[in-house]
Amino acid sequence: MSSQSSTTSAKAVEHWNRTKSLMWVTLTIWFIFSFVVHFFVNQLNTITFIGFPLGFYMAAQGSLIVFVVLTFWYANRQNRIDEECDLAED
């Protein structure tokens, strides 16, 4: 019984560490596209993307697209972590 308990505890610790790492990566990407890109909007406006200044594009659509993709990527990656640590739900 003790062996199973330590295995479960080890899996829980591994799951938490991997989830925490994923959270920090996700928050870093979110911070970059929420604040950093918009902070450098004037410099980005010297580059054009689909006929629009890149800074304008990132403010109008680019960041929103990144957030939607980030949400689906996070959910997929967290599900994979849950499955690998045997904590997935049906």
Entry field: residues in the chain: 90
> pLDDT tens digits, residue range 49-69?
888 899 888 888 989 999 999
pTM of the model: 0.81
What's the whole-number mean pLDDT along residues 8-30?
A: 95
> pLDDT tens digits, residue range 24-43?
999 999 999 999 998 999 99
- 59 near 48, Cβ under 8 Å? no
- 3 near 47, Cβ under 8 Å? no
Write the DSSP symbol of residue 25. Answer: H
- Cβ-Cβ contacts under 8 Å for 78 (sequence gap 6 or more): 19, 22
Which residue type occupies 22? L
Q: Does residue 72 have a pLDDT over 90?
A: yes
Q: How confident is the model at residue 7 (pLDDT cuts 50, 70, 90)?
A: low
3-state DSSP percent of the chain in helix, strand and coil, to 5: 80, 5, 15
